[in-house]
Amino acid sequence: MTDEMISFGAKLALHAARRPDAPAVTCGGETLTYGQLHRLSNRLARGLAARGVKFGDLVTVGLPNSVGFVAVCYGIWKLGATPQPVSFRLPKGELQAIIELAKAPLVIAEFTHEVDRPVLSVADLLALSDDDSDLPDQIPPISKAPTSGGSTGRPKLILAGQPGLSLKAATEVPFYGIRTGQTVLLPAPLYHNAPFTLTMSATQAGAHVVLTPRFDPEGTLAEIAARKVEWLYLVPTMMNRIWHLPEDVRGRYDISSVHTLWHMAAPCPPWLKEAFIHWIAPGEVMELYAGTEAQAISIISGSEWLTHRGSVGRVAVGEMKVVGEDGAELPPGEVGEIYMRRAPGVAETYRYLGADARTISDGWESLGDLGSFDVEGYLYLADRRTDMILVGGSNVYPAEIEAALEEHPAVQSCAVIGLPDDDLGARIHAIVNVQGEVTPEDLKAHLADRLVTYKRPKSFEFVDQPVRDDAGKVRRTALRDARIKAG
């Protein structure tokens, strides 16, 4: 294989020339072929240029999942600019803070609230040009610029260290295993880093990317069966909602076409992981652990996980180590803060706007996660440092309690936080979204043989809406602050 690199736009043009009628992206019943995606993104690029977008700009994209979202991103890349995806549900204040950080010349969205930048829809941009011919080739210096609020809710941008380049001859995405012509299902929102990156990579490989306007558990199974999906991305929240479908509903759909399922972005409860490993067999369930910053990555297959239950794998890219309070590296089996750094000789993988990395010496950085290695080099996560709850001097990790709660068949999603307590320092409080009639006593009984006494929630709050979003993300600090404020 040649190592020649070409721009994202040039790679799309290559697919359009070779396979113009092959499906590129589908969402909500609408499909663009590679030829159509190439031409539509040319028009959008000219519309963006007419509104002042230029080489090197960050362009805020606040759209729901759609074929237009993907076409807009390619239009941005063709100008040498960078898509900066945000949730289309962002409140005005948070959106304003992000676009100020990005210095975005405009926002592509359908927001109803006003911000101090022009807000244009896909239709608005298309109305500015009907010229779908090729543009001069441009290589974006930054391939993507996702946002992260972290647990504090303060937005920051994570600028990728890689330019918008693709291997000219590549027909497969390295280690994800997405290949030309494959059908790839991504039911997660594109404003999150993982589904955005996977969509970018899959279209560069020439796969057929199937998006969904929103996640629906049974609808996901129906898409797999109808389209013979071969490659699937889910987050643990989605896996949980699918698994909690009635068994006869799950059994209606043939998912035997799936040979690879990847999950990431949030911890997966061991019971749920094991259920999917056996269900997807003989296909493989793969897990990746990393931050958007991508200094280092660990990977584990489902078959490997069965002999290292609960692990997120061995380090496959870069370096990781576990560090104690004194800054010294901890031996296997001891929980500490996970630090990462890129491999020697590798270029910077990211740059922050609006934040500073948590660093120690020699390029080691932390994302705030806690964990431990075993003697074989397998990594096990505990939780995030900022989410850990100190109860009477004991460290309690919300992810462990949430995993136990989600084993209850009625629990759709949950979040565990610590509230102030005069006696123990913190009281464990569970916010739970359930299906059907469930009482606190039911959940206490469920947890009685799963968690030691001090880890069990002392109070329960039932809510009507999912606690986590479709990407499995939850802002525990915001949940905690709101409840403390309310008294």
Domain definitions of the chain by residue range: 5-214, 290-385, 388-486
User: What CATH fold (topology level) applies to the domain 5-214?
Assistant: Rossmann fold (3.40.50)
Please state which CATH number belongs to domain 290-385.
Answer: 2.30.38.10
Q: Are domains 5-214 and 388-486 of this chain identical in fold?
A: no
Does 388-486 carry CATH code 3.30.300.30? yes
Number of other residues whose CB lies within 10 A of the CB of residue 487: 4
Q: Compute the distance between CA of residue 161 and CA of residue 347 in angstroms, rounded to an integer.
A: 7
367, 371, 374, 379: CA torsion to nearest 10 = -50
- In tens digits, what is the pLDDT along the chain, a chain of 487 residues? 457 999 999 999 999 999 999 999 999 999 999 999 999 999 999 999 999 999 999 999 999 999 999 999 999 999 999 999 998 888 788 789 899 999 999 999 987 778 899 999 999 999 999 999 999 999 999 999 998 754 444 678 999 999 999 999 988 888 899 999 999 999 999 998 999 999 999 999 999 999 999 999 999 999 999 999 999 999 888 998 899 999 999 999 999 999 999 999 877 889 999 999 999 999 999 999 998 899 999 999 999 999 999 999 999 999 999 999 898 999 999 999 999 999 999 989 999 998 888 888 788 999 888 999 999 999 999 877 778 787 876 778 888 899 899 999 999 999 999 998 877 778 999 999 999 999 999 999 999 988 888 899 999 999 998 898 777 778 888 898 899 888 7
Number of other residues whose CB lies within 10 A of the CB of residue 130: 9
430 close to 473: Cβ distance less than 8 angstroms: no
Q: Write out the two tokens for 278.
A: 């056996």
Q: Cα–Cα distances in Å, from 224 out to 102, 185, 250, 291?
A: 37, 8, 12, 28
